[in-house]
Amino acid sequence: MQKQLIIGIMMAIAPSTFGANASDSVRTMTLKDCMEYAISNSTKIRISETTVDDARIARRDAILAAFTPSVNAGAGASYSFGHNTDWLTNTKIDITTFSNDYSISAGITLFNGFQAVNNMRVSKTALAISRTEQEQAEADICLAVMEAYYNVVYYCRLCQLFDEQIATARTALDKMRRQEEIGQKSRADVIQLEADLADREYDLVSTRQMRDEQIMTLSDLMFFPMDEQFAVDTTMPLATADNQTEDEIVNYALGNNPSVKIANWRAENARRELSTARWQLLPHLSANASLSTGYSKRSGSDAQSFNKQIRDNVGENIGLSLSIPIFGRLNRYSEISRKRNSYARANAELDQKNRETESAVRKAFNDCRTALAAYQQACKKTEIQQEAYQLNQKRMEQGLISGLEYQTAVNNYLKTKSDDMKSLFTYLIKQSVLKYYSGVEYVNQL
């Protein structure tokens, strides 16, 4: 049966719960399952989704501003009374007048220094940036989940190892006590094995505490409900070697890594904003058109019907407007200077990001290679120590070595097993980071 680990936020779980006898009704989650669950429930991803939606709205607004006119409609009514001037006789009279007017107008900018077009392009890039930042947030979450997941597996496997050693130590202690009774072993040998058993039990308690802490960390990263449980597959994965060269990974990362792409887009947007600021020194041209009509009636006089006045009073207007900037207290020139500084800053940040990415990739490549060598050496050491441990166990059963010598052999074996597992998980994490720089998302590596 596949080994699994029952995980719950409420940690009142018996030690026997962790192992092959875990409840079959609890879903077993692999590393990929944990990553996908974390991505689906993380608050960081939900926040980034709102940022992407804002960028999508800004993109839509920029397109509409570039290609569609603004249209306005209005209606008004007024009722005037009291002392007024008769426009026919220019004499003062008392008269009451009701008037009603309607209008609709439209306007569109024909040329404003390509500001609308550049804004549309900037909004497109901003949308790409927000989407890429969301992908970057997902990658960060996946890497954190991977580290916590492997820590859980490591301490769970270590608990199983200590359980086995405790069982072996108890068997050896029982045998030693029988040998003491018949005079083959001294009381000192028995006490030595009792101390060894106490050490193993203490190590198990400490390891369980570390395991529980990592369980809490993994659950928090996944945003898993505190009143529910799930199971984690603790099967030891296999280590494989990669064939890509360091320069191949560096070249790919410099062209495709999200942080580099974001820096490139921001530099491009800064260049467009600088271009827009420069074009603002040129005249702006706009077109507008309007249609209006109205109705009026004086008290005590006959007036044409509402429908007839509305038809007869229609007025139309169409025109072009040219705005020439002459002096604006150097605001436009100051804006150009600010945008020029922003462009220079964005280019410097791009160069810095390229350098950081190349350095990170080369460090990841070296770390991966070093971790693989350490894991291979740990495997060889484990084989030797396991053989030595089995040999000393037989010698202990035959009474050929002391309890102290046996305890030393057990400690060496446990340390090599621990180092073996730790080096394996370290290599798997380093390898995943290198694959990510090669263009493979963490969740797609499994």
Which amino acid belongs to residue 347?
Answer: N
pLDDT for the residue numbered 374 = 93
Residue 429: is its pLDDT beyond 70?
yes
Burial 13-29 (b: 16+ CB within 10 A, else e): beeebbbeebeeebebb
358 pLDDT band (50/70/90 cuts)? very high
pLDDT for the residue numbered 238 = 74
Lookup: tokens for 106: 């439209």
pLDDT for the residue numbered 22 = 46
pLDDT for the residue numbered 205 = 93
Residue 51: is its pLDDT beyond 50?
yes
pLDDT for the residue numbered 241 = 72
Mind listing the pLDDT tens digit for each residue in 190-206? 887 888 888 889 989 99
**pLDDT mean over 128-144:** 95
Residue 186: is its pLDDT beyond 90?
no
CB 85 within 8 A of CB 92: yes
pLDDT for the residue numbered 7 = 36
pLDDT for the residue numbered 269 = 95
88 pLDDT band (50/70/90 cuts)? low
**pLDDT mean over 212-226:** 91
Q: What is the 3-state secondary structure (H, E, C) of the chain?
A: CCCEEEEECCCCCCHHHCECCCCCCCCEECHHHHHHHHHHHCHHHHHHHHHHHHHHHHHHHHHHHHHCCEEEEEEEEEEECCEEECCCCCCEEECCEEEEEEEEEEEEEEECCCHHHHHHHHHHHHHHHHHHHHHHHHHHHHHHHHHHHHHHHHHHHHHHHHHHHHHHHHHHHHHHHHHHHCCCCCHHHHHHHHHHHHHHHHHHHHHHHHHHHHHHHHHHHHCCCCCCEEEEECCCCCCCCCCCCHHHHHHHHHHHCHHHHHHHHHHHHHHHHHHHHHHCCCCEEEEEEEEEEEEEEECCCCCCCHHHHHHHCCEEEEEEEEECCCCCCCHHHHHHHHHHHHHHHHHHHHHHHHHHHHHHHHHHHHHHHHHHHHHHHHHHHHHHHHHHHHHHHHHHHCCCCCHHHHHHHHHHHHHHHHHHHHHHHHHHHHHHHHHHHCCCCHHHCC
231 pLDDT band (50/70/90 cuts)? confident
pLDDT for the residue numbered 190 = 81
pLDDT for the residue numbered 219 = 92
Q: Count the neighbouring beta carbons within 10 Å of the beta carbon of residue 310.
A: 16
Q: List the one residue out of 168, 171, 176, 175 whose CA is nearest residue 192.
A: 176
Residue 259: partners with Cβ closer than 8 Å, 6 or more residues away: 136, 353, 356, 357
Mind listing the pLDDT tens digit for each residue in 234-251? 887 777 777 789 999 999
pLDDT for the residue numbered 21 = 39
pLDDT for the residue numbered 260 = 95
Residue 8: is its pLDDT beyond 70?
no
pLDDT for the residue numbered 82 = 72
Mind listing the pLDDT tens digit for each residue in 249-291? 999 999 999 999 999 999 999 999 999 999 989 999 999 999 9
Strand partners, 297: 98
309 pLDDT band (50/70/90 cuts)? confident
pLDDT for the residue numbered 49 = 93
pLDDT for the residue numbered 273 = 93
CB 54 within 8 A of CB 61: no
pLDDT for the residue numbered 299 = 73
Strand partners, 290: 105, 317
How much is the mean pLDDT over the chain? 86
Cα(17)–Cα(8) distance, integer angstroms: 11
The answer to which of 146-155, 165-174, 379-388 has the lowest mean pLDDT is 165-174
Mind listing the pLDDT tens digit for each residue in 95-106? 788 889 999 999
Exposure of 305 in the CB half-sphere (CA atoms within 13 A) = 3
What pTM value is reported for the model? Answer: 0.81
CB 80 within 8 A of CB 60: no
Percent of the chain with pLDDT over 70: 91
pLDDT for the residue numbered 300 = 66
CB 119 within 8 A of CB 66: yes
Lookup: tokens for 427: 């290599």
Mind listing the pLDDT tens digit for each residue in 329-347? 888 899 999 999 999 999 9
Residue 278: partners with Cβ closer than 8 Å, 6 or more residues away: 113, 336
Strand order across the 315-323 sheet = 70-80, 97-111, 284-298, 315-323
Mind listing the pLDDT tens digit for each residue in 387-418? 888 888 888 777 677 767 777 888 888 889 88
Domains, the chain, with CATH or none:
238-282+329-446 (1.20.1600.10)
